[in-house]
């Protein structure tokens, strides 16, 4: 099951719920904190862009984060960006939601 499931877009409220409920492990079996997941939603997918998130917007956000990571000089910031990118890629493949 992928994030978009053959749909061109998903509502922001559904995306926000997926971020909160996902239990995707990023490196060494650790998850992103709730605060980090909330920052992804607020910073990378702001409400001013509309009431839904399209596949194109999702792809553009991933590409922008990859570009930021490539240009980043600070190793700690680069690592954080890498974790966020990995989290978003895993979320796109299919959210592992607790049952």
How far, in Å, CA of 4 to CA of 73, rounded?
Answer: 34
Domain for residue 2, yes or no?
Answer: no
What average pLDDT does the chain have?
86
Is residue 68 packed enough to be buried (19+ CB in 10 Å), middle (13-18) or exposed (0-12)? middle
Neighbour count for residue 23 (Cβ, 10 Å): 9
Q: How many domains does the chain have?
A: 1
Domain for residue 98, yes or no?
Answer: no
Domain for residue 99, yes or no?
Answer: no
Q: Which has the higher per-residue pLDDT, 25 or 83? A: 83
34 has a pLDDT exceeding 50 = yes
97 has a pLDDT exceeding 60 = no
Closest-CA residue to 15 (of 30, 44, 33, 32): 44
Domain for residue 4, yes or no?
Answer: no
Domain for residue 40, yes or no?
Answer: yes
Host domain of residue 84: 9-93
Q: What percent of the chain has pLDDT over 90?
A: 36
pLDDT of residue 78: 95
C-alpha radius of gyration, the chain, whole number: 13
Domain for residue 65, yes or no?
Answer: yes
Beta-bridge mates of residue 25: 31
């Amino acid at each position: 099951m992928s994030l978009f499931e053959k749909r061109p877009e998903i509502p922001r409220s559904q995306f926000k719920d997926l971020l909160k409920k996902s239990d995707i492990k990023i490196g060494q079996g650790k998850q992103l904190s709730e605060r980090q997941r909330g920052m992804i939603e607020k910073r990378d997918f702001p409400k001013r862009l509309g009431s839904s998130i399209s596949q194109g917007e999702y792809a553009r956000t991933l590409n922008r984060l990859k570009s930021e990571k490539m240009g980043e000089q600070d190793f700690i910031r680069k690592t954080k960006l890498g974790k966020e990118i990995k989290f978003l890629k895993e979320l796109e493949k299919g959210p592992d939601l607790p049952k």
